Amino acid sequence: MPVRRFYKLYLSPSRKYVKTLKNLLGFVPGNLSLYRLAFRHKSVAQSVKKGVKNSNERLEFLGDAVLGSVVAEVLFKLYPYKDEGFLTELRSKIVNRANLNQLARKLGFEKLIEYDNRMISATRQGSLLGDAFEALVGAVYLDKGYDFTKNFLINHIIKSHIDIHTLEQTETNFKSKLIEWCQRHGKDIIFEHIPNQEGESTKLFTIVVNVDGEVMGLGKEFSKKHAEKLAAEKACEALGI
């Protein structure tokens, strides 16, 4: 065992934190401050120069991009005979917020995230997990580089925790997802059919979704069902469901 690694794990003042991270990630982290930053929500962050806070949001921006790129390559190679529409859709099923929240919960991120629960509603607390997961990817990237991050994501995360072939089969039912969410949060939801405008094809259906009286999505398609689906999808996106 190299001296640095031995020191980090057994002698340094941060050895407990290093061990927790090692158990979680499967490797000994280098620059600890990056990992601390990845787990720090803005509700407990301090303002640094020019009013920017030392929260995980910037790392989340970087990690989101790196994760998107790694997953793109995995799918590109896993499905050599599928077109880019298929690849795009499958990637968004893998990296969507709900999936990342669940993943981060399974990985045990809850005990590592620092946040002030008085400032965040219970609904929002779940999505801190996914945000922290993306920020962690950003931290690993800055600490260890792209190839290391790619191997970490493939071997430690994707292979063990993400069932790509099952996700491939699941069609996301945005309408029922949205209705369920509204019921759980006590919100009124109305799907409204908007009459066609003058000159518009009479075959088109325009559906607007109202959540608590606010338009959250609009879909326009050649069948009412598809228009509803699209409107619900937009609303899910807008509400971050």
What residues make contact with its own copies under the rule CB under 8 A? Answer: 48-50, 52-53, 57-58, 60-62, 64-66, 68-69, 71-73, 76, 81-84, 87-88, 138, 141, 145-147, 150, 197-200, 204, 206, 210, 212-215, 218, 220
> Nearer to its own copies by C-beta: 18 or 56?
56
200 is in an annotated binding site: no
Judge contact between 130 and 139, C-beta under 8 A: no
Distance, CA of 185 to CA of 174 (rounded, Å): 16
Can you spell out the DSSP letters for 31-47?
A: -HHHHHHHTB-GGG--B
Chain centre to alpha carbon of residue 81? 27
CB of 8 to its own copies, least distance (A): 26
84 is in an annotated binding site: no
Given the residues 134, 143, 228, 233, the one annotated as active site: 134
237 is in an annotated binding site: no
CB of 43 to its own copies, least distance (A): 15
CB of 81 to its own copies, least distance (A): 5
> Nearer to its own copies by C-beta: 151 or 176?
151
Q: Pull the structure tokens for residue 169.
A: 């089969």
Active site annotation includes 143 = no
Active site annotation includes 64 = yes
CA torsion 137-143-148-151 (nearest 10°) is: -30
CA torsion 80-82-87-90 (nearest 10°) is: -110
Distance, CA of 161 to CA of 103 (rounded, Å): 7
Active site residues: 64, 134
Which residue ranges make up the annotated binding site? 60, 131, 134
Which residue ranges make up the annotated binding site for Mg(2+)? 60, 131, 134
